[in-house]
């Protein structure tokens, strides 16, 4: 069946349905509530991803430190010894790293030999997002 199109002179009026101000405010409020719930979870995930990346870097550097120790019979005095041969290393087969990586927050990894937490070995750590050593956000090769 074919419906006639309204003409300007017809008695029928065509109403267009539009969003009211109340409907628009309701939608904006719902979007705001959802954003308030979702955004903190996303931010928490990115920080968790950085911690996981730092742990992976530490594991990689630990492997190179252990390789240095196997080759030379001792752990290096400095993390730089993994890139450039120290004078005391008679059996150095490096470079063990192409360059010293930075942690996900743009800080240098910290290496202590002998370690403060691992007295018989070494400490390797990222100082975390606050860029201060000795705080709760540090990521290290020891158990807390």
Domains of the chain: 24-140 (3.30.700.10)
Residues 127 and 107: beta-carbon distance below 8 Å: yes
Q: Which of 7-16, 24-33, 72-81 has the lowest mean pLDDT?
A: 7-16
* Residue-wise pLDDT tens digits, 54-67: 998 999 999 999 99
What percent of the chain is predicted at pLDDT more than 70? 87
Q: How would residue 3 be classed by pLDDT, with cut points 50, 70 and 90? A: low
Strand arrangement, sheet containing 123-126: 110-112, 123-126, 139-140
The three-class DSSP label of residue 124 is strand
* Residue-wise pLDDT tens digits, 9-27: 555 665 667 777 777 878 8
Q: CB neighbours (10 Å) of residue 81? A: 22
Residues 82 and 68: beta-carbon distance below 8 Å: yes
Q: How would residue 138 be classed by pLDDT, with cut points 50, 70 and 90? A: confident
0.75 surpassed by pTM: no
Q: How would residue 135 be classed by pLDDT, with cut points 50, 70 and 90? A: confident
């Amino acid at each position: 069946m074919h419906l006639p199109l309204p003409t300007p002179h017809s008695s029928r009026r065509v109403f267009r349905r539009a969003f009211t101000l109340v409907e628009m405010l309701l939608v904006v409020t719902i979007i705001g509530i959802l954003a308030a719930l979702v955004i903190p979870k996303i931010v928490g995930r990115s920080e968790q991803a950085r911690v996981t990346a730092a742990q992976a870097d530490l594991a990689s550097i630990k492997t190179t430190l252990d390789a240095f120790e196997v080759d030379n019979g001792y752990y290096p005095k400095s993390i730089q010894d993994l890139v450039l041969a120290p004078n005391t290393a008679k059996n150095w087969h490096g470079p063990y790293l192409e360059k010293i990586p930075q942690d996900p927050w743009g800080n240098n990894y910290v290496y202590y030999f002998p370690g403060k937490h691992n007295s018989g070995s070494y400490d390797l750590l990222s100082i975390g997002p606050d860029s201060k050593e000795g705080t709760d956000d540090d990521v290290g090769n020891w158990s807390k």
